Amino acid sequence: MDRLDAMRLFTRIVELGSFSRAADNLKLPAATATHTIKQLEARLGVRLLQRTTRHVSATPDGQAYYQRCVRILADVDETEAGFGHSGAAPRGKLRVDLQGTLARHFVLPRLGEFFARYPELELEIGMGDRLVDMVREGVDCVLRGGVLRDSSMVARRVASLRQVTCASAAYLDQHGTPRTLDELAGHRAVNFYSIASGKVFPFDFVVDGEPRSVQLSGSVSVSNAEAYVQCCANHLGLIQLPRYHVAAQLAHGSFRAVLDDWRPPEMAVSAMYPQQRQLSPRVRVFVDWLAEVMAAAS
């Protein structure tokens, strides 16, 4: 194995915390991975990795070497991208994790356009709302909506989505339509909570340019956007969410928007990636494409 391949193997071991997972990720025999790192440590004359029964981590020398490897490999990828037979097209595998509803509504329908533009790229797509350990799991980029929870990542805002407060027409016919924020006290909500923290999110509004939050009681709390909309359709109360989720119901009249004079703040949508990936041509073109897709739809 040449030096660059050894560097790639070493960085992936550090990122995944495992020889076997790194070997699987790079489609190498486990014995080859072990032998390569032994040769690398012997050539450098330092111990790069420390092993326990459950985890592998970098030594202080290994961490310093890792940072240099990341920069070198990014430079190599960027340089090689300009000399492929398809011009400056990047190539290789990109591992991404997309928030499920954003993926289904905005990204997946246009993937054909992405591959037409970058035919030598391969995407491995995970979907969900959980907090991903990007470095440990070897994920290159995530797409998330709302407040960002990991300040160690590089984040680029790719969209701001309009939000709406609404309820089913049947619910409003039975309980009345709130005309002011004070009238919300007489209403029920379908509440949405964070899987990571267990926190129930309040309803947020902008009043005279200032944020205001209102916590409503309700019979059910959910952590999934589809369940949130379905509970609203079952007349269980008010909901507040990005408008694209319920655009069809609002157009049909089965849902009605309320409190248009006190609209919620827009929801930020951001692409996030580890700092060591910011020079990667693969990550850069994917994030640029995400921004293009989201700008056209929002």
Q: Is residue 293 part of a domain?
A: yes
Q: Domain of 108: which CATH number?
A: 3.40.190.10
> Do residues 102 and 185 both lie within one domain?
no
> Do residues 259 and 192 both lie within one domain?
yes
pLDDT value for 153: 80
pLDDT value for 94: 87
pLDDT value for 85: 47
* The pair of three-digit structure tokens given for residue 170, joined into one six-digit string: 């049947």
Q: Tokens 């926190």 correspond to what residue? A: 199
> Do residues 71 and 111 both lie within one domain?
no
Q: Is residue 151 part of a domain?
A: no
Q: Do the Cβ atoms of 262 and 206 come closer than 8 Å? A: yes
> Do residues 175 and 197 both lie within one domain?
yes
Q: Is residue 174 part of a domain?
A: yes
Is the Cα torsion angle 58, 156, 143, 255 positive or negative in sign? positive
Q: Is residue 193 part of a domain?
A: yes
Q: Is residue 128 part of a domain?
A: yes
pLDDT value for 276: 63
CA distance 62 to 10: 9
Q: What share of the chain is helix, strand, coil (3-state, %, to 5)?
A: 45, 25, 30
- Total domains in the chain come to 3
> Do residues 259 and 283 both lie within one domain?
no
Residues of the chain with pLDDT under 70: 78-88, 129, 131, 135-136, 149-151, 276-279, 298
Q: Is residue 66 part of a domain?
A: yes
> Do residues 172 and 261 both lie within one domain?
yes
pLDDT value for 86: 45
Q: Do the Cβ atoms of 250 and 256 come closer than 8 Å? A: yes
* Complete DSSP assignment for 42-71: HHHTS--EEE-SS-EEE-HHHHHHHHHHHH
Structural domain including 205 reads 163-265
Can you give the pTM of this predicted structure?
0.69
> Do residues 136 and 225 both lie within one domain?
no
Q: How many residues does the chain have?
A: 298
pLDDT value for 278: 59
